[in-house]
Amino acid sequence: MQNITKITLAGELSEQGLLQGAIAKRLEVNRDTIRLWLKGIREYGLVSFLDRYTNAKKGERKRRQVDPVMKRWVWDIREREMDCCGEKIRYFLQKEHGVTLASSKIYEILHEKYQLRSKWKKNQKRGDTPEASRAREVIQMDSIDFGAVFAFTGIDIYTREADIYLAPELTAVYGYEFLKQSMQRRFNHHVETIQTDGGSEFEKEFTEHVLEYTEKHRIARPYKKNEQSYIESFNRTVRKECLGWIKYKPYQLSHCKQMVESFLERYHYHRPHMGIGMQTPLTRV
């Protein structure tokens, strides 16, 4: 039975003295809906109300407008937080303004100003990924080429704590220097597994000393980037939010180190991480 017919019957049954609850039960319609229908019939008359009801159903409904101030907050957070995702914008809106906004609405606002990439397809075949159930169980390490400056990177895949060491060359000597620095200042001197790729910077001096800091040194399989997914993700963050995609000169090494230390401070204490429940690595409960 169409709603037009139900509205007509509701009006007739109401004239016969039936209560709204009884009409709702007979027509199998919510009682509040019956109340609104009868109110419209009394206000406009049955024929006029049916016309208004029919016209209201035609065409696309206008979207609810978002406060321009809210839009400005969303855009400002996006730019301030290095083009962060909708979930992180939602986090900062709640934290800074006490406002809760659905992620879908945030992306709708972002689409008004930015060209966003399509969503990642979830059902993709993946390679084996190292798993950890506690801190210092698995550390992934890698390197990034910035021209005449090279970044050695490492991350605890459970806590998301990370470290960066900048060097003028991509050699195993500096790989070992990175190993010493990261284990002493970030990873408590000893972990269960350290995983690297098969690059030359993780051979020779690095392999000679790595077992001083771990029970196992695992080399990720070639062409299986998902085995290094955590450190690859962190490397993208380093490029996006710290050093960018440019090539640096040797004399810029000192400046790059300052940028890295500032980034690590922000990364560990300010930047929320979706993988650990929108907390930061060193303020995690």
pLDDT digits (tens, 9 = 90+) for 183-194: 999 999 999 999
Alpha-carbon distance of 161 to 116, in angstroms, equals 28
First to last CA, the chain: 56
Alpha-carbon distance of 206 to 175, in angstroms, equals 6
Show the tokens assigned to 43. 């206000």
Q: Residue 176's CB: how many other CB atoms inside 10 A?
A: 20
Ranges assigned E (strand) in the chain: 138-145, 150-156, 162-167, 191-196, 214-219
pLDDT band at 50 (very low <50, low <70, confident <90, very high): confident
Question: Who's near 180: CB < 8 A, 6+ residues apart?
Answer: 209
What are the beta bridge partners of residue 63?
none
Higher pLDDT, 119 or 18: 18
Asked if residue 126 has pLDDT above 50, the reply is no
Alpha-carbon distance of 138 to 197, in angstroms, equals 14
Side-by-side strand order, sheet with 150-156: 162-167, 150-156, 138-145, 191-196, 214-219
pLDDT band at 57 (very low <50, low <70, confident <90, very high): low
DSSP assignment, residue 239?
I
- Mapped onto helix, strand or coil, the DSSP state of residue 204 is coil
Asked if residue 116 has pLDDT above 80, the reply is no
* CA-wise closest residue to 213 among 239, 235, 177, 180: 180
Domain 3-56 - what CATH class?
A: mainly alpha
* CA-wise closest residue to 167 among 133, 124, 205, 127: 205
Asked if residue 119 has pLDDT above 60, the reply is no
Q: Among 62-66, 157-161, 221-225, which stretch is predicted with the lowest mean pLDDT?
A: 62-66
Q: Give CATH for domain 138-276.
A: 3.30.420.10
Q: What is the mean pLDDT of the chain?
A: 89
Alpha-carbon distance of 129 to 195, in angstroms, equals 11
pLDDT band at 174 (very low <50, low <70, confident <90, very high): very high
pLDDT digits (tens, 9 = 90+) for 196-253: 999 999 999 999 999 999 999 999 988 777 889 999 999 999 999 999 999 999 999 9
What's the pLDDT at 60?
Answer: 62
